[in-house]
Amino acid sequence: MTSIVIPAHNEGRVIGRLLDSLLAESCTDEFDIVVVCNGCTDDTAQVAGGRGADVRVVEIAEPSKHRALRTGDEHAHGFPRLYVDADVVITTSDVRALIQPLDDSSAILATAPERDLPLAGCAWRVRAYYQVWQRLPAVRRGLFGRGVIAVSEAGYARIAALPPLMADDLAASLAFAPDERLVVDTARVVVHPPRTWPDLIKRRIRAATSSAQLEHHQRQERGGDRREAADAAVAPSARTGKADLLAILRAEPKLVPGIVVFLWAAVAARRGSRKAIRSQDFGTWLRDESSRQG
């Protein structure tokens, strides 16, 4: 049986649309869905529990996504296993497509769907930013930024060993070599982007802060600051380089305004993340509420 773990912190406005989509075409006992309400002060548990016996709800007091994921693992029954953010939308058929490559004989240990970003209603700078972001090689090939990762039992062992990092989906993606992970082109997920520029910057500050935490962890794993320069050359990374942006610009010169907006957001995020990085604050979660409109 396929297990689906959904960590949810105050997602009462949106978790219903995800569960309804997952259950719409599922067969009896096809999915083992575990919603882990972590530190919720809204009606997330009631909304999820209202979907019937196909959804099991577990509540923990601590508002921690990492703790919610591991708690979900303690209650989940089967493999392949999916980890799904509560604010995305994915269908029964998309889940089936994701788990198909994860059989025991396959070298593929982790999969993720192609992403749909509904940008209608978003501010023009948000639309311009994502026009560039979606074209970045690491974004196209990585499993992160999709809100869904599926793993085999062997793949689960790989990510279960990861430390509690803010950039959990990026760390999970980088835990697999390119030939061990697959973006499945027959599966799609709807990822709701921020609607406003301030909310986009919140997301980018969080990304910059979490990337710094991940890189700090990578340095520690490889021997500390004395080997920092060498680590930078070998540690897996999803950072955007100048070459990536220049390649996009050469291919599509009309994206000059988008490149400007992308760089603008990068500078704002770097500035906004400095205080948190200096103080090693990797627990403050700058949450975008504009994309959670139900």
In a domain, 134, yes or no: no
Cα separation of 82 and 5, whole Å?
6
In a domain, 289, yes or no: no
Q: Is the pLDDT of residue 232 over 80?
A: no
In a domain, 288, yes or no: no
In a domain, 111, yes or no: yes
- List the structure tokens of 123: 């501010």
In a domain, 241, yes or no: no
Torsion of CA 230, 235, 239, 245, to 10 degrees: 70
Which domain range does residue 59 map to?
Answer: 2-118+140-191
Q: What are phi and psi of 197, to 5 degrees?
A: -60, -45
Total domain count for the chain?
A: 1
pLDDT-wise least confident of 51-55, 124-128, 149-153:
51-55
Within 10 angstroms of residue 283's Cβ, the number of other Cβ atoms is 11
In a domain, 67, yes or no: yes
Torsion of CA 151, 154, 158, 164, to 10 degrees: 60
Residue with tokens 């708690």, as numbered in its chain: 71
In a domain, 61, yes or no: yes
pLDDT-wise least confident of 24-28, 197-201, 256-260:
24-28
* pLDDT-derived band at 274, boundaries 50, 70, 90: confident
Query: Residue 16 is part of a domain; what is its CATH number?
Result: 3.90.550.10
* pLDDT-derived band at 156, boundaries 50, 70, 90: very high
Nearest alpha-carbon partner for 291 in 131, 118, 158, 48: 118
Q: Is the pLDDT of residue 287 over 70?
A: no
Q: Is the pLDDT of residue 99 over 70?
A: yes
In a domain, 244, yes or no: no
Instruction: Give 172-192 pLDDT, tens digit per residue.
Output: 999 999 999 999 999 999 999
Predicted local distance difference test score (pLDDT) of residue 104: 79
Q: Kindly report the pTM of this predicted structure.
A: 0.89
Side chain identity at 147, as an amino acid letter?
G
Instruction: Give 34-70 pLDDT, tens digit per residue.
Output: 999 999 999 999 999 999 889 999 999 999 998 999 9
DSSP 90: -
